[in-house]
Amino acid sequence: MLTSIRYSDNKKVLGAEIIKDKSAKYSCEYCKKETIHHKSESQVRIGHFKHKQGASHCPNQTKETQWHFKTKYDILAYITNGWGNKLKHIEVEKWICNNSIRSDLYIETSKNKIAIEVQASILTASEIKRRTDKYYKNGIAVMWILPYDYDRIFEPKYLGSHYSDEDNNRMWKREKVKLKEMEIWLYWANYKKLIFWDLEHQHSDGFTVVEFSEYKSESVDFRKDGMDHYYEGKTSKTIKTVSKVTNNIPFDKLKISFCKEFNAPYRSYTIPKRKIFTYDDGEWKNKNGR
């Protein structure tokens, strides 16, 4: 976890922003047990906290990757530096909804409450549904962030010798991207969009939204044993086509959307009523009307 409570002044502190002090003591915000501050001089690994070895299980005692730590901190810095003076409150690793969920970032504006979930590990569809539903019932909008992998969204294509070198060296949106089950749930919940964060800032300094469409295999017709045969292409349940990529979306261009419950196509579950924090330039919603 990035945060702990400092004994000396009872303040919640970020491990990345305080110096390493062996005499200082810290405790877990949830279970109140002692935690240890880990911070290397090389700063290869971002400063964070861990429970003492052998401590009993605590909901804060989860295995988090460096990508998760760094992304939470990066988004916190991005929003704070750009819009912090316009927010009522912003906090990392905030326990909300009667201490039943720890949001990676929690934000309060003059009108809304927003939770940002940074998701690198795999969650079950039922767990995402539980959290989304819990947020909705507590009047909180949620945005799920995934790690941005440029090569997963774009691919090189050789178009042929009659095309220019510039065209043949371009990266093209992938026709086929296989989504994990967690991503498929988010795809339907977010109007066929997924939201990403480029931690290295190679392609985007703000939020990245990728819009997808259903992928349908090619139809096949052939002749066999003197008869014509035709097989119509099928819509894939897990493979989607990249339709549009929007980079550098600033925080203040994201909006809250209230969404109805519906049955997820090709799935046995429903997408519940939800309040999502997302980007909507109007094109997809006008075309699809959900």
Please report which helix (H) or strand (E) contains residue 254, including its range: none
pLDDT at 284: 41
| Final residue in a domain of this structure, among 38, 62, 86 | 62
pLDDT at 60: 87
Q: Are residues 4 and 119 in the same domain?
A: no
**Facing residues of 191 across strands?**
none
Q: How many CB atoms lie within 10 A of CB 264?
A: 15
Q: Are residues 74 and 34 in the same domain?
A: no
Q: Are strands 193-197 and 140-147 parallel, antiparallel or unpaired?
A: parallel
Q: Are residues 52 and 144 in the same domain?
A: no
Q: Are 36 and 50 in contact (CB under 8 A)?
A: yes
pLDDT at 217: 82
Q: Are residues 238 and 251 in the same domain?
A: yes
Per residue of the chain (290 residues), give pLDDT as tens. Answer: 999 999 999 999 999 999 999 899 999 999 999 999 998 777 678 999 999 887 778 888 888 889 999 999 999 999 999 999 999 999 999 999 999 999 999 999 999 999 999 998 888 999 999 999 999 999 999 999 999 999 999 998 766 667 676 666 678 899 999 999 999 999 999 999 999 999 999 999 999 999 999 998 877 776 777 777 667 778 899 999 999 999 999 999 999 999 999 999 999 999 999 999 999 876 544 444 33
Distance between CA 1 and CA 131 in Å, rounded? 19
Provide the residue range defining the domain that includes 53: 1-62
| % of the chain residues with pLDDT over 90 | 73
Q: Are residues 18 and 79 in the same domain?
A: no
CA contacts within 13 A on the Cβ side of 200 = 6
**Facing residues of 216 across strands?**
235
| Final residue in a domain of this structure, among 45, 62, 79 | 62
Q: Are residues 27 and 114 in the same domain?
A: no
Q: Are residues 126 and 239 in the same domain?
A: yes
Q: Are residues 54 and 15 in the same domain?
A: yes
How many domains does the chain contain in total? 2
pLDDT at 285: 46
Q: Are residues 180 and 151 in the same domain?
A: yes
Q: Are residues 79 and 20 in the same domain?
A: no
Q: Are residues 54 and 70 in the same domain?
A: no
Q: Are strands 48-51 and 89-96 parallel, antiparallel or unpaired?
A: unpaired
pLDDT at 166: 65
Q: How many CB atoms lie within 10 A of CB 139?
A: 10
pLDDT at 169: 66
pLDDT at 165: 65
| Final residue in a domain of this structure, among 41, 62, 83 | 62
Find all residues with CB under 8 Å of 238, minimum gap 6, and list them: 178, 179, 184
Q: Are residues 205 and 111 in the same domain?
A: yes
Distances 162 to 159, 170, 235 between C-alpha atoms, Å: 8, 15, 33
* Tens digits of residue pLDDT in 250-278: 999 999 999 999 999 999 999 999 999 99
